[in-house]
Each structure stands twice: as structure tokens, then as C-alpha cells.
Structure 1
Amino acid sequence: MRVNRRAALAGGAATAMLGPGAARAQTPVRIRKGAGELTATSDDVVAFGEAVRLMKRRNDGLSWTRQSQIHHRDSQHNNGLFLPWHRQQLVHMERIVARLTGHDGFAMPYWDWQEHRLLPSWICDGESPLYERNRARGVETLDFAAARWAESPYTAKLASDDFATFCGKLPEGAGMVEGYGHNHIHQLIGGFMRHPRTSAQDPMFWLHHSNVDRVWATWHRNRGRDLYPADWTVRTVTGFVDAEGRPTGELPVSGTLETRPLGYDYDRLYPFPVFNVAEAGPPGATRRVPVEGQSWTLRAEASPGAGRMSLTLPAEAVARMREADDTLMIAGEGAVAYHREAALEDRSLEIRLGAGGRERSLGSSPTFVHLPDPGEGHGGHRGPYVLPFRFGEEVLNLLASGDGPAAVTVFAEDLDPEAGRPGARAEWIELTLTLTETRWA
């Protein structure tokens, strides 16, 4: 790896002239590459390892401990600021690595667990500064693409999700990319990665979030440019330190939407699935044209102290779905909420549709609960923990299999039952169900 320390120092000084924490483009733009295609001797891997070693020896604003504290105290989870906050932390970490190592072209590798199903071998090497022994047993050989939660059909749709569905809601409510594409990797890697207060201590945190950011960059190219609400873009995120270890102050969300102005890009975007496939209708027909529709908005409060709750679907809606042919379109959009507390950690929220003695999963996600520090406060994490779910025509076979009522049920499975902890407390479940009658054209 070629190290140009003089250039790196000059770059740090130039950034300082722009103001603490200023996220300005660098020349040339840094290119983030897939971790599965890098080796232990790749420049970015060597630079990241060197930076981790140096940061662990420091006790100032550029220390490894400081980065973990930043994530613990200031990171945003389970709301619409999740993506911009973590983008800014990654950008500032890249600049710190460049400043400390002199590798001014450093770009954080991304780990795509669907494309490269195992952890990178160089991050599992016990002699590497990127190795973390506090991980789940057997994680070095785990096939992440075949592990629990990995094959959920309810992950983010990068070609069709709207803003709130993809990015999340304010003040509370995870988007699909966080709830189903992010949380389960933290739980599967285990160890420090299981909880927001410690997750940034594992170098895998940074590779994982680089890929989550890549997913956002892909959605932004496909859908996001015209979908960001004005009251969201004027928000700010905070807590970061610049390449000199100085606090950045508040940074506008509007400055996080494009990657290249922040000084980086990806070698390739996320290989998203095709959702708008041609529908199989009558001979000569190519699409369904909406004719009329009906919607139901439902909500149920949990019983005090209960860990499970249910919401019964309207009988008339269930009857129509049971007699449905290929002209009926179904859109179910909902959310479940649990009390934000330590008892909710290390659980999996299981959301299921039941009818006629059978069930179908509508969502399964391990929790990643940001708990506010007593006395310190964390205004963004005081409300309930909210997870979205959705369904469509795939529920028709279940509903057609039997008579009687149909209900959505959620419970919090304990992933560490031997700990003997108190149960998680459910708060509410809500659903908007829309049935649209169509005709083929």
C-alpha cells in the first residue's frame, strides 16, 4: 500500500478550513468495493486494519472507543433518520482512517451477505486487527444467505418502495431496509454486534453498514430523488467527529442524499430484484386496470403486560379474498409496537397471519433496540419500538384453505430463553388493508 502522509495531512488541513466536520467532496472520489473481492493485502483492508490498531491505542477524539460511544449515544435507529445518520458516521470514519494512515484514497469496503455468503476470511483471521473474538460461535463458517431471517420475502423493494416504507417514519418506525435488511445481520454475527451500545466495536459493523448504505444509494437512484419529504430534509443529524477529532455539530439531512458530493461512490450498486414483471392474464391482456377499491384501517391495543397481540381482519374483506380471482389486488400495510426496554433485546418479532388452523409469516425480525442512557437522555429513542409488515396476494392460498376468521398475530420470541428475563411488553398493532377490483386490459 502506498502511503502519502504529507498529502493526507494537507487534506486534513483543507477539510479543517471548510469547518469542523464539513462533508465535502475529495478528488478523486473514493470508490467503495465489495469485501468478498478483496484480500488481506488489498489497500483498503490494510488501511482499515492499520487505522483500527492506531485508534485502539488512542484516548482522544480519534480513538476506537470514541467511535463506539458516538454510535451508542447519538445514533438513530427505528426511525426515519437511520439511513442519513449512519451515512454520516461512515463518511467521517473514512476520513479518520485516511488521516491516520495516510491512505488518502481509503474507501470503506462493503459486505454483501447475499452475494458473498460467508464473512470475509481476512476479518476472521485471529492475527488481524480486524478480527473480533466477541462474535457468535461458528460465525466464521455461517452461510448468511441461508441463515434464519435471510430469506424473508418482506425485505425492502428497491424499485417500488415509497419513502416511508423504505426509510422509516418519524418520530418512531423502522423502514423495511432497517427492520428486515439490517437487524438480522447484527443478531447473526452476535457478540458486540447484538446491541447498539457495543456494535461499533466490531469492525464488521462498518462493512455491514457500508452495504446498507449501498442499498440506500440504489433505492435513491431508482426512486428516491423526488420522494424525500421537505420536513425530513431540513432535519439534522449529529454526534460525529471530523478527521482532527473535533465535534462536527449538527449536519443537515439534505446534505446526505447524494454520495459523490460526500466524496465516495460504489463500484456497483445493489443487484436489486425485478418486481414489475409482466402479469399472467387472459390471452391478449397485459395489465390490470383498477376499477374500484375499498380500504379498512384497523388498530388494536395490547392488554397491559401482554407479550402477544392480535388483530382480526374484517369478515367482509376475508370473504372477498376467499372468493378472489386474478382481478383482485391486495395491499396490506401495517406495523407493530413494543415497549422500548431491556426486556425487548435479543428477541425476534414474529408477525403471522392465521386462518383455518394454519399460519403464514408476514415478517420476522430480530430486535435491535437503542435504549436511552439514564440521566444522559436520547430524545430520538423514547417512544415505542415499531416494526412494519406487509402482505399482498400471496396470502390468498392460506385464506382459501379454511373457513372462519383471519387474524394477524405478533409475539416476541426470546432468543436467549435460558436467561430467564421478564417478557417483552406489546403496545399496539395496526393495519391498513386495501382491496382493489381491477379489469384486464
Structure 2
Amino acid sequence: MTIDRRQALARAGAALAAATAMPAWAQTGRVRKGASTLSPNSDDLVAFRDGVAAMKRRTDNRSWARQTRLHREKAQHGSGLFLPWHRLELAHLERIIARLTGHTTFALPYWDWQEDRFLPSWVTTPGSPLYERQRGPNANTMDFAKARWATSRNVARLASDSFEVFAGLPRSAGAVEAYGHNHIHVLVGGLMGRTETAAADAVFWLHHCNIDRVWATWHNLAKPVYPSDWSKVPLTGYVGANGEDTGTWTPGAIVETRSLGYSYDRLYPFPLFSVASNGPAGATRQEPIGQTAITLKTACEPGQTKMSVTIPEDIAARLRAADDTLLISGVGQATYKRDERLLDRCLNIDILAGERKLALGSSPTFVHVGPMGGMDHSMPGMVHDHTTGEDYGVSFQFGTEILNLLARDAGPVVVTVDAEDLTPTVQRANTEGLSLEVVLTLTETRWV
């Protein structure tokens, strides 16, 4: 293939843009604030309304339709790239709106459904540029906190999740995507209910700002070491403030919000996800003295939807006899075939002891299926783009919370996953399970 001088200059320009963008972006002091804290005449809200209105009138790279198409064709779902891809998408939209409105420090607001239980009035008022007619029938008046908790109690654990469980695996959605993110998309419904159209609703941007805030909180609490392969995956196709291609980005360069020139007025205020253990008087920590790890895995027959693995009797007996010196870590992944049958499902993961059960995960399948364009993510060990994967996975974990369940029933201990059909009246074929894997680690400790 011959590359002419014009092509070479264009590629050099894109590389230069990528190299110089980070320092310039980091200099901007944007502060993202909660939706309920903004008055109708606040600078950020006025700019958001005016900017979206201007984008809806445009037909070029800075149009609203172009942002919807970007998400339809490039967005990453069902993998560890979900968080960085959407972080960059949000940051680029902020730049476009800032340029179009002249509000140079414009910051997107976030909508936290736990704290602000209803959608902001400025996205539910007909005639507003932020209003969207195509939502679920009850979305504009729904109590989202009540509806979300009624649907599932599963959440990301900000203080204890590992990177793989929180953010995701190469072909598996992490807890922040599978639980916190997907349920809200389904509850809002309409355009928000499909990856192809979600970004056309202004609520999408408020919701994803809050998801990004959850990542910022987890990053601040966990101080994680991010996987090397993940950190170097190229992310491309974003549109800058002037409609230009901003070149190639990598996840590792944007794990700090300040690298993109913004912060949050406050991090996530709900530390309900991790409770510290209390040892004997004077003891301050648990010292490991022994460990047992087992891997349980099942493969499925074609057409099988429900999957399960049984914890061996000797391990179950050990769990039932456990005291506070036994640390329990169960990490699992349920994988299904990614095709049209997977749409409008909810993957329900439970642990059963005899007749009793405890929910470990519940995740609507907000995924891309079919050939939709995309990027070449050829980093070894990391996810490729959503068009090449034939499977879709959800990660889950459990710990000492299962002990109460086991103490109340002496029956077999089984981890199960099933794909609930959210549109049963359609009477379509079952989705196809591929595998269920659980790694259970028991660590004997002593308090010191």
C-alpha cells in the first residue's frame, strides 16, 4: 500500500494532536456538579441546554447525531474498556459544548439516582432541548431509587472490588457496568434502552457522568494498579471542540480525572458496600496462615440457558463451621453467546443452599450485537472491539455474606445463573449459555 504525502501529514497531525492534547486538557478546571444542585439559570445548565440545541441544528462532526453515531459504532460494553471509553466520550462532549456556547469551563452535570430519585425537571419538560419523547411510559415520573432497589440489590463495592470485578474482564462486564449502569438504561427505556440510540437522550450523559463519578470514587479508595495490557489499548474516533479527530488515547493516561481537566464537587457518598471486620480486643489485623483455592466450571450443551456449579461437600461444611478467622473470596464469571437472543434479558446469578437463595448479581443485557463497525483493539490479553466477540460475560463476587444463608439450610450449595426473558410475550428462542466459572478461595487467618 502506498501512502502519499497528504496521508503522511494527516497521520503525523493526528499523532501530534494526541501527544499535545493531554497537557492542554489537564489545564482546564471543570467541576462536575450534581443535577439537583443546579438552578435553572446556572451557567452549566444554560450552556448544556444551549449547546445541545446548537448541536441538534448542526449536520457536521459537532452535531448531536454524530455523537449518537459515535456511541452506536464505537462504544465499548461488556468489557474492561467500558469505563475509559465512556470517560473520553463525556470529556469530548464537554469540549464541544464549551466551544459552541463560549462557556469555557462548562462541565456536564451528573444524575445520581440514589440521591436524586427522580429525573431532573429540565429533562422532562416538553419543548426543552434536553427533553426526549421516546422514553419508557413512566420514566419522567419514576422514583428511580425505589424502582432500582426493587429490581436488584446488587451494586459495585467501592471499597473492596478488584479491578476485574469492578471494571470488567476482556470479555466480561464489571459490576459498575452490569449492575449500576445497565439497570438505569432499562428503567429509563425508549432510546436509552438500546446501545444504538442511547446517546440521543440527554439523560444518557447525566447517567454516564455519575457512572464516571463511581469510577473516580473507586480509584480514590482502591488506589489500584491497573493491568498493563488494559492501560495501553488504543481508543480512537473521538471528535474535538472544532470537529477534529483528536487522535489516539489510552486508558492508562486517563485514570485520573485531572488528566482530562475536570473533577467532581464530591465523590460518591454511599460507602455501604464494605463493612470492616472487628476482631478481638487489641487486635488490628488478620494475618494469613493457610489458604485453599478451588475452581468450579461448567460448560453448556447447545441451547442450554441455565447453568450451575455445586460447591463440594467438604468445602461447604468448612464454610458452615467458619468463624471470623476465615476469609472468603468467591469470584465468578457467567458467559453467554452474544447474538440477538441475548437482547432484553436479565442475567440473574444466585447462590442456593437447599431451599434458600441469595442473589449475587442481576444484570440486564445492555449490549451490542451484530456488525456495527468498531476499532481494532489488538492488545494481547485484552478485549477486541464489540463486533468481533461472540460471547458476553458478567462478573460477580461473594464473601462472608453467604455464611448466614449456609447456616440456615444444610442442603447442597449451588451457584446458578439464568437468563430471564424481559419480553416473554415475544416468545422467542432461548439465549445460549456458554460457561459458568467460580474461583473460591478460603484463607485461614489469625488476629494479631
Alignment-mate amino acid for residue 329 of structure 1: L
Cα distance in 2 for residues equivalent to 1:404 and 1:16 = 61
Cα distance in 1 for residues equivalent to 2:347 and 2:242 = 41
Stretch moving more, 125-134 or 265-274:
265-274
Alignment-mate amino acid for residue 186 of structure 1: H
Aligned-pair distance for 1:161? 2.3
Question: Residue 174 of structure 2 corresponds to which residue in structure 1?
Answer: 175
| 2:445 pairs with one of 434, 438, 441 | 438
Question: Residue 188 of structure 1 corresponds to which residue in structure 2?
Answer: 187
TM-score of the two chains, using structure 1 as the length reference: 0.90
Question: Residue 37 of structure 1 corresponds to which residue in structure 2?
Answer: 37
Question: Residue 8 of structure 2 corresponds to which residue in structure 1?
Answer: none
Cα distance in 2 for residues equivalent to 1:175 and 1:231 = 17
Question: Residue 404 of structure 2 corresponds to which residue in structure 1?
Answer: 397
Question: Residue 47 of structure 1 corresponds to which residue in structure 2?
Answer: 47
> Are 1:407 and 2:414 matched, yes or no?
yes
Q: State how many pairs are aligned.
A: 425
**Equivalent residues of 2:297, 2:436 under 8 A apart:** yes
Cα distance in 1 for residues equivalent to 2:164 and 2:153 = 19
**Equivalent residues of 1:356, 1:401 under 8 A apart:** no
Stretch moving more, 378-387 or 239-248:
378-387
Query: Structure 1 residues 285 and 162 mapped into 2: Cα distance closer, same or farther (>3 Å)?
Result: same
Per-residue deviation, residues 200-252 of structure 1 (Å, max 9, x unmatched): 0000111111111111112222223x511222222111121111222223222
1:294-305 matches, within 5 Å, as: 294-305=292-303
Alignment-mate amino acid for residue 160 of structure 2: S
1:302-321 matches, within 5 Å, as: 302-321=300-319
Query: Structure 1 residues 96 and 428 mapped into 2: Cα distance closer, same or farther (>3 Å)?
Result: same
- Secondary structure in structure 2 of the residue aligned to 1:31: strand
Question: Residue 115 of structure 2 corresponds to which residue in structure 1?
Answer: 115
Q: Which runs of 5+ in 2 are unaligned?
A: 1-12, 377-383
**Equivalent residues of 1:162, 1:227 under 8 A apart:** no
| 2:430 pairs with one of 405, 423, 431 | 423
Query: Structure 1 residues 219 and 402 mapped into 2: Cα distance closer, same or farther (>3 Å)?
Result: closer
Cα distance in 1 for residues equivalent to 2:420 and 2:259 = 43
Aligned-pair distance for 1:47? 1.2
Stretch moving more, 374-383 or 199-208:
374-383
Aligned-pair distance for 1:336? 0.2
1:36-435 matches, within 5 Å, as: 36-149=36-149, 152=152, 154-170=154-170, 172-224=171-223, 226-273=224-271, 277-373=275-371, 379-381=384-386, 382-435=389-442
Q: Which runs of 5+ in 1 are unaligned?
A: 1-14
Aligned-pair distance for 1:275? 5.8
Alignment-mate amino acid for residue 249 of structure 1: G
Cα distance in 2 for residues equivalent to 1:17 and 1:329 = 48
Aligned-pair distance for 1:437? 2.2
- Secondary structure in structure 2 of the residue aligned to 1:147: helix
Cα distance in 1 for residues equivalent to 2:99 and 2:283 = 60
Alignment-mate amino acid for residue 362 of structure 2: S
**Equivalent residues of 1:291, 1:437 under 8 A apart:** yes
Cα distance in 2 for residues equivalent to 1:292 and 1:132 = 57
Cα distance in 2 for residues equivalent to 1:159 and 1:377 = 33
Aligned-pair distance for 1:165? 2.0
**Equivalent residues of 1:179, 1:365 under 8 A apart:** yes
What is the percentage of aligned positions where both structures have the same residue?
A: 52
Per-residue deviation, residues 137-183 of structure 1 (Å, max 9, x unmatched): 1122222222245785542222232222222122x111221111211
**Equivalent residues of 2:311, 2:414 under 8 A apart:** yes
Query: Structure 1 residues 276 and 52 mapped into 2: Cα distance closer, same or farther (>3 Å)?
Result: closer
Query: Structure 1 residues 116 and 299 mapped into 2: Cα distance closer, same or farther (>3 Å)?
Result: same
Alignment-mate amino acid for residue 368 of structure 2: H
**Equivalent residues of 1:85, 1:238 under 8 A apart:** no
**Equivalent residues of 1:154, 1:389 under 8 A apart:** no
Question: Residue 381 of structure 2 corresponds to which residue in structure 1?
Answer: none
**Equivalent residues of 1:144, 1:150 under 8 A apart:** no
- Secondary structure in structure 2 of the residue aligned to 1:69: helix
Cα distance in 2 for residues equivalent to 1:72 and 1:309 = 31
**Equivalent residues of 1:90, 1:210 under 8 A apart:** yes
Question: Residue 6 of structure 2 corresponds to which residue in structure 1?
Answer: none
